[in-house]
Structure 1
């Protein structure tokens, strides 16, 4: 992942993105909800139509009038990531509907999807906010337990990998690399929401900010596969990865999670597959992309499983579609596994362009209904 630390999974102050397909809003002639905040992004500005607005459900319409692909972040003053929408191309628009509790935030437009962004301070006022049913409260509690379990299980898996690096055992480190990433990949939007952890652990070389030291999994991946060596620097980096993963484990329990942030995090996991796994960019040296791909799908499916009772009640047809698409993508991935339960997948450089297209189509077929999950649980 890039050091922009993507993800809209967490809403520590109650902000949870829901898709623009949410119903119940009056529409203007251009199709956008009445009263929507308008954000005009360019290469040098991030203009917001209102910097003081009522707390509650807020729709944000973003138009990129610049020459570069941009992102919009909603941030707390301490730069924790609350929500974001990425990959807004020049001349295109994007829409986000969010539940925002009262408080101060910053909107940050990031032309080129790098750097701190162009900031505009905003404030949500009043007492508007999200109200949840007992079923949704149960889903949030269960998901919190799942996220904590994934972080807990990651500690020994990462240590197996880093112990091999410190021992100078290239082959053992290679064998442990993919499994060390599984818990992170299943809950990646939560991990990334802390902002400062992801750039240390999961950044790729082309995602580095100016002056940033390259650390984490992918730095070690390059040494193991491209350079086929482990030196003192790599051994130190292994210990740093242990420290950073331990920090993630410590902090993940502090995250506030909402039903709509869960749903949008599931969609973000599929976007992550589409951006980085299907293209082969994520694990470009080890070609273990399909293991990460599977973990991302598993994380998204867990969210859907927990939200399914409410989804069936609110949108039975959507639930039926999601059931079918999760079966389809898992069946497709099974074609590349050595067995039906393990994580020994075909190395990605052996996957043909035609097969990559099939995988991409499968991801897109799931991502489309998954983008409607947040709106369904928000009804």
Structure 2
């Protein structure tokens, strides 16, 4: 590994009740989808339906070909039997766009779920994986390589959340004490640890929205908390930037509650990843690496993540670092299966890191997003696109799907 950072698994946890409009699917023992290939299922997501071509599939590699047939951006998930644990997901599927989600599924009961508009409870349906009679996952030397990658990945996650809780406590103490200069100084570098593991955090219930929801993401009646809630108070907007209303600073009591809540939610994350059964499989790490690039494309490179502090490049770098770590753990397998892909990924990671280095570093500080020129933003966006395409091949290369 070239950096002491962690790749974050791209998992977005949902607690999804049964919803009206979920299409009833007829079982297809072979798991055939629109393509007719075994283990390939088509998914049509609209405003009121999540139409999966079959409600069953044989164990092993399953490819969900997700098509957004609605007018809003959507997401698709494969959830565990409890409806809480996310096996894997694909986010930010725009109208008319298709995206594939590849999973390695063992026999058991699951749920499929669509989340049109990326808000609300979403739409889910029961899904069963039958026993194909074949071993799920890689075997032989490849299996050993991927098991090592999974073990190293878990160690990285634990290391990052350890640094995160320490930094969060220091940040919270400064904020509660009214030392806003120190809190602002700690904000971005501490959040980098979160950004490296954010999709892991998203796999644990509602920890992510409680800890990291942006104001623009809030649903009607949702109570705001977490990093961006405090961010706004530390970088207080003018009325023009606040919907025409003067911003009302948090009271001391509100500050203390916001800080204590942030530490508490972060501690929950620490507790979860330090459980003995915490692990991620190789296909999930691969999916996560791609999803981290999607995070960059849909928030950081647009300046929408840190709209008050403009510290988006810290988050950008952390997401890229996380994607690189996820890939590097799997690199030996990729090089054996597709050396051209491995070479291109190395090149693209090097290019995007070089562009970011022109603007600073997490340790020394970056250029604030609102100080970037249009050409600089365009160059970063182009580099993200160039990396995103080959990275989308990572899961199928690792799983052999």
Which TM-score bucket, shorter chain as reference? 0.7 to 0.9
Cα distance in 1 between the residues matched to 2:12 and 2:224: 25
| 1:72–1:9 Cα change, 3 Å | closer
- Counterparts in 2 of 1:108-127, with a 5 A limit? 108-126=113-131
Matched, 1:130 2:137: yes
Aligned residue number for residue 159 of structure 1? 169
More displaced stretch, 31-40 vs 52-61: 31-40
Q: 1:238 aligns with which of 249, 256, 259?
A: 259
More displaced stretch, 290-299 vs 247-256: 247-256
Q: 1:38 aligns with which of 42, 56, 67?
A: 42
Aligned residue number for residue 7 of structure 1? 10
SS at match of 1:226: coil
Q: 1:53 aligns with which of 57, 61, 70?
A: 57
Aligned residue number for residue 223 of structure 1? 233
| 1:146–1:29 Cα change, 3 Å | closer
Instruction: Note if contact 1:9-1:265 (Cα within 8 Å) is conserved in structure 2.
Output: no
Cα distance in 2 between the residues matched to 1:40 and 1:105: 18
Instruction: Note if contact 1:170-1:230 (Cα within 8 Å) is conserved in structure 2.
Output: no
Aligned residue number for residue 14 of structure 1? none
Following TM superposition, by how much is the alpha carbon of 1:81 offset from its aligned partner in structure 2, in angstroms? 2.1
Following TM superposition, by how much is the alpha carbon of 1:30 offset from its aligned partner in structure 2, in angstroms? 7.4
Instruction: Note if contact 1:9-1:261 (Cα within 8 Å) is conserved in structure 2.
Output: no
Structure 2-normalised TM-score? 0.83
Aligned residue number for residue 20 of structure 1? none
Cα distance in 1 between the residues matched to 2:364 and 2:322: 15
More displaced stretch, 204-213 vs 159-168: 204-213
Instruction: Note if contact 2:113-2:122 (Cα within 8 Å) is conserved in structure 1.
Output: yes
Following TM superposition, by how much is the alpha carbon of 1:249 offset from its aligned partner in structure 2, in angstroms? 0.6
Aligned residue number for residue 264 of structure 1? 287
Stretches of structure 1 lacking an aligned partner (at least 5 in a row):
1-5, 11-27
Q: 2:182 aligns with which of 172, 180, 186?
A: 172
Cα distance in 1 between the residues matched to 2:374 and 2:185: 26
Structure 1-normalised TM-score? 0.88
Following TM superposition, by how much is the alpha carbon of 1:307 offset from its aligned partner in structure 2, in angstroms? 1.4
Cα distance in 1 between the residues matched to 2:358 and 2:332: 30
Instruction: Note if contact 1:9-1:257 (Cα within 8 Å) is conserved in structure 2.
Output: no
After superposition, the C-alpha distances for 1:226-247 in whole angstroms (9 at most, x for unaligned) are 2595532122100100000000
Cα distance in 1 between the residues matched to 2:226 and 2:191: 11
Aligned residue number for residue 344 of structure 1? 365
Instruction: Note if contact 2:102-2:395 (Cα within 8 Å) is conserved in structure 1.
Output: no
Aligned residue number for residue 202 of structure 1? 212
Cα distance in 2 between the residues matched to 1:105 and 1:291: 37
Matched, 1:376 2:397: yes
After superposition, the C-alpha distances for 1:337-369 in whole angstroms (9 at most, x for unaligned) are 1xx672400111001121101000011111111
Aligned residue number for residue 286 of structure 1? 309
Cα distance in 2 between the residues matched to 1:172 and 1:143: 32
Cα distance in 2 between the residues matched to 1:341 and 1:50: 46
Cα distance in 1 between the residues matched to 2:67 and 2:394: 24
Instruction: Note if contact 1:266-1:301 (Cα within 8 Å) is conserved in structure 2.
Output: yes
Instruction: Note if contact 2:107-2:129 (Cα within 8 Å) is conserved in structure 1.
Output: yes
| 1:278–1:286 Cα change, 3 Å | same
Aligned residue number for residue 324 of structure 2? 301
Instruction: Note if contact 1:224-1:230 (Cα within 8 Å) is conserved in structure 2.
Output: no
Following TM superposition, by how much is the alpha carbon of 1:102 offset from its aligned partner in structure 2, in angstroms? 1.5
| 1:307–1:313 Cα change, 3 Å | same
SS at match of 1:187: helix
- Root-mean-square deviation (CA, aligned residues, Å) is 2.3
Aligned residue number for residue 241 of structure 2? none
Following TM superposition, by how much is the alpha carbon of 1:29 offset from its aligned partner in structure 2, in angstroms? 12
Stretches of structure 2 lacking an aligned partner (at least 5 in a row):
1-8, 14-31, 238-246
> After the TM superposition, which parts of structure 1 deviate over 3 Å for at least 4 consecutive aligned residues?
6-10, 28-35, 227-230
Cα distance in 1 between the residues matched to 2:344 and 2:364: 26
Matched, 1:68 2:89: no
Instruction: Note if contact 1:144-1:253 (Cα within 8 Å) is conserved in structure 2.
Output: no
Instruction: Note if contact 1:39-1:63 (Cα within 8 Å) is conserved in structure 2.
Output: yes
